[in-house]
Amino acid sequence: MIGLIYLVALILYLVISFFIVMECCNYYKRRHKRCWVGALVGVVIAYNIVFWDLIPVYSAHEYYCRAESGVYTLTAPATWLAANPSERGRDLSSKYSRSEYLGDGRSRSWRSDQLYIEYNEEELFFGLIRRFRASLVDASNQHPLLEMTDYVSNYGALMLGGEDSSFKFWLRTGYCPGNLLEEFTRQLNLYR
C-alpha cells in the first residue's frame, strides 16, 4: 500500500513538473522568443519543489563532519587507571551492562560500577541532521573520560512511523567518514 502511495506521488510530481516546464516554455516563447530559456527555468522550479533541501543538507552534514565529529580522549587511560587501580582488568563489554533511559534522547549504559557510557541524540538543521554523542564517564565524579561525536542526515529514511522527512531517502548521507564508533570502542577498551 505504501508503495502505491509513493507511485501516485511520483506520477503526480511528474505531471505537475511537465505542466510547469510547458507553461514556462510558452511564456518565454511569447515574450522573448526563446523557449529553451523558459524550459530551463521550469526545470529549476520543478526540481526545487521536492529537492530544495538537498544541497543545504549535504553541505551542513559535510561541515559538521569536518568541524565537530571525532573521538576525543579527555583523560588518558593510564592516568585514570593509576587513580583507580581496582578497575584494572575489568571486562567493559556490553554483555555485562545495564541500561537506563534518561529522556530527551539520552540513555546510559553501565559498563562497571565506576564507568558508564552516556548516549545523547539531538536534531540539528531543522531536524534533518542528527548528532550522536557517546561519552565514557567516571561515575564517582561525573567527569567524561572519552567522547565521540558523529552526524547522520535523515536518520531512519523510509522507515514507517519515522519523521516527517523520512520519505526523502535521497538525503540519507550516512555517518561521518572514519568509522568513529569502531575507534570509540577501541579506545574504550584501553580503560581496563
Determine which of 83-92, 120-129, 152-161 has the lowest per-residue pLDDT on average: 152-161
**pLDDT at res. 160:** 45
Among residues 127, 133, 132, 131, the alpha carbon closest in space to that of 171 is found at: 127
Q: Using a pLDDT cut of 90, give the percent of the chain over it.
A: 27
Element (H, E) at 71: strand 70-73
Q: Write down the domain spans for the chain.
A: 1-51, 53-191
Residue 81 CA to residue 153 CA, distance in Å, equals 37
Is it the case that residue 165 has pLDDT exceeding 70? no
pTM for this structure? 0.73
**pLDDT the model gives residue 95:** 64
